[in-house]
Amino acid sequence: MKRVLSSLALCLSITAYSQINANWCTSDSKFYQSLATNPFMQVEFDNFNQYVLDHQDEFVSERAVKIIPVVVHIIHNYGPENVSDATVADAIRYLNEDFMGTSPDLSGVIPAFTSIVNNPQFEFRLATKDPNGNCTNGITRTYNMGTYDADDDSKVIVWPRNKYYNIWIVNNIYSDTPGLVTAGYSYFPSGWTSASVDGTILGYNYFGTTGSNFAKRVLSHETGHWFNLAHTFGNVSVDQGDCSGTDNVSDTPKTPGSLSTCNLNRNECSGAQANVQNIMDYSSCTNMFSTGQANRMITAANSGTAGRNNLWTGSNLTATGTTTIIIPNCAPVSDFHANRYSCCTGTSVTFYDNSWNANVTSRVWTFTDGVTTINDTSANPVITFTTAGEYDVSLTVSASGGNDTETRTEYIQVYDAVADVTSAPYSENFESNPISSGMWSVLYSPDPADGWQTTNSAFVSSNTSIMVHNYGLGMGQLHSIISPSYDFTTTGGPVIMTFKYAFARRATANEDVLKVYGSTNCGQTWQLRATYDASSLVTTSNKTTDWYPNSSQWLSKTVTSVGSYLGKPNVRFKFEFKTDGGNNLFIEDINITGPVGLEEATNSDLVMNVYPNPVQSEINVDFMVDQDYDATFRLVDLTGKQLSVLGFKELVQGENHLVFQVPSGTSRGLYFLQVEAGNKVFTHKIIIE
C-alpha cells in the first residue's frame, strides 16, 4: 500500500540519469497534506523552530563531538539491494567525513564560501548492541518484497529512534510521478512523526557508492533533514528562478537551487552568489555545510523532540555499544537463497550463503527429501537433483562468536519431466485436497507460512476453495502455488484457462496483486500470462474484518494468453499473490481447456465472467465458445419467471464481450442472467443494486 507520506517527509528525487526533476520534491506538499488532518503539527513545527533560534548560541558554545549510534536495515529480495557490509562501511565513512569536516572534497570549496565552511561534529557509529543488548554489527537484513516501490510501509523493522538513527536500504522508492526515481527521503524531528518510520530510507544505488559526487552524498543530504535542515532554496520548486524560499539559516544566501548542475557563479537572487556547493542543494558538486547549518543541527541534537537529545548521552552509548569503535565478535545469522525453487529432475540448482552479522568461517549444507541426503561445505554449492521430491535445505554457519542454523522445509520442488495430466480438458475444484496430496504444491516463500491453503468456509461451485489468508499477513509478502503438469500435445483446440475468485480490499489504497504464470520446464523459468491488480480483482466492497465471501461475491477470469502452450508436453501454471494489506483471496473451479461447445456443455461448463456483481446499471459478460451461435439473453427471477429480454446476440467463435443495460424499474435483489444458445439454456446468478 502506497500511503501518503507525512508532511515532514523530505524527498530527493532524480531521473534515471541522475538528473533531478524540479517538479518532484514534495516536502512542502506533504507538509500541507498533513496540516489538513493535523493542525497541531504546525504548532509543534513553529515551536521547535523558535526553540532552535532561542538556543542555538547556548548549545553551539559547548561545541563537542557527539556520537550518534546507527543501525542500517537492509530490506531485500536477495538482489543487488542486499548490499555488502563493505558498502555500509563506505556509506558511514562518507557520512562522517561530511559531518566531521574531514572530507577531502572540502578543498574544492570556492573562496566565496571558505569562511563559512563548518560542521556539527557528529560522529556516526554502527551499533554493536541491539535493543535487547545482543551482539550486532549494526546491520540487519530482512527479506521483504516491500523493497520494491518502497515507502514507509517497507520499514518492517525499526529500532527505538531515541537510541538509534535508523537507515533503511531498499531496491527502489515509490514515486507517484512516472519517469522519476526517488533517491531517498527523511523526517524532520517531530513528536507527531511515528517512531516506527522516523529515519532515512534510500535506494541502494545512492548509498555508499563510489560513483558520482551527488550519489554518495544523498545520505548526508537526508541526514541533514533528519537534524532539521531544509533545502537551501526553501520550499519553492528547485531551479525555477524563484528566490522567495528560505532555509531559515542566516549565512546561506538566497538561491533558486541548482538542478544537477554546477555553475559556481550563480547570482540570480539580488546579486548574491549562490552557495551551489551546499549539501542541502541539488547541485552535482555538493561538499559543504555552513556554520549556520551546523549550529542548527547541533541545536536539534540537543532537543528532546523525537528523542534526538538522548542519542549521544553516555548511557545510550553504553546501551548501544558505541562508546568506542570496536569490531564486535557476534554469532552469525544463517540465511540463504537459491537461483530457483522448482526444477525438473537432473537439473542443477545454485545455492547462495547470505548469512550476516559476522564473518562466516565455516559452513555445512544439508539437502534431503527424507530418503536421499546430500552434504556440502562450499559457500555457493551447485546441487543436481536426480530424484523427484520435496527437498528440505539446512545451512549451519560458524564464526568465532558462535554458530547458527537455518532449516527450510520443502524448499526445493523437484518434478518428473513427464506430465501428471495427459488429457484435456482439466478441471480442479479442490475437493480432493490436492495440496496435501501433492498434486498442487505451495512454492517455498521466506514469508510466514499462512499463505495458500484449502478451506471449506468459502466456495461457489463446490464445497472447497484455495485461499491466501491475507487478512493476517504483512505487506510485501509473496505467496505462490503451482499446478500439476499438463500434456497439451493432444488437445484439439486452443488452451484457455478460466477460474472463479473472490477478493476484497480492507482499504481503497490496498494494492494487492495476483499474477498467473506458465512454465514448460518444471518451473525453472516462468512466463507471465496475466496480471490482476486490486482494482480488477475486487469482487465486493471493502471489508475490515476477516472476510469470507458468500456465493454472490465471486467472479470469473479467463486467461487466453496461455494458448501458446498448445502442443507442449509438460506445462505447469503458477498463481502468485503479492500482499499489500488487503483482505483474503479465494480461488476455485479452475478449468483448462478450449472454448466451450454449447451443444454438449452443462451449466457448470460455461464459465461466464459477469461484472460488476452486484450490478447497478450495466451488466458486462465475458465467455468463450468453440463456434458461432445465435443467443438470447434474458433476466429472470428466482422462480424462473422471465422479467425482460435483454437482447439477441450473435456469439462469435472465441472470446465474447457483451454489455447489457439493467431494465429501468428493476427492483434490487437476486436474479438469474439466462442465456439460450446451442439448444441449451445456461444461467448465472447476479445481484442488482
CA distance 193 to 170: 21
> Contact, 316 vs 68, CB < 8 A?
no
Residue type, 342: S
Cβ-based burial of 561 (10 A; exposed 0-12, middle 13-18, buried ≥19) = middle
CA distance 5 to 33: 9
CA distance 30 to 201: 16
Q: Transcribe 643-657 into DSSP letters.
A: EEEEEEEEE-SEEEE
Residue in 342, 324, 479 with CA at minimum distance from that of residue 410: 342
CA distance 618 to 56: 66
Element (H, E) at 50: helix 40-60
With H, G, I as helix, E, B as strand and everything else as coil, classify residue 455: strand
- What ranges make up the beta strands (E) of 77-223? 117-118, 122-126, 139-143, 165-170, 181-187, 200-203
Residue in 157, 119, 151 with CA at minimum distance from that of residue 136: 157
> Contact, 123 vs 65, CB < 8 A?
yes
Residue owning grid cell 498463481? 575
For 192, residues 6+ apart whose C-beta sits below 8 A from its C-beta are 6, 8, 34, 38, 40, 41, 44
Per DSSP, 116 falls in state G
| Residue 202: all three cell numbers together | 534510500
Beta-strand relationship, 389-399 and 362-368 = antiparallel
Residue owning grid cell 448465472? 684
| Residue 43: all three cell numbers together | 504548532
Taking the CA atoms of the chain, what radius of gyration do you get in angstroms?
A: 30
Among residues 222, 428, 511, 576, the one annotated as catalytic is 222
Residue in 667, 673, 668 with CA at minimum distance from that of residue 686: 673
| Residue 172: all three cell numbers together | 527502489
Q: Is 222 a catalytic residue?
A: yes
| Residues labelled as active-site residues | 222
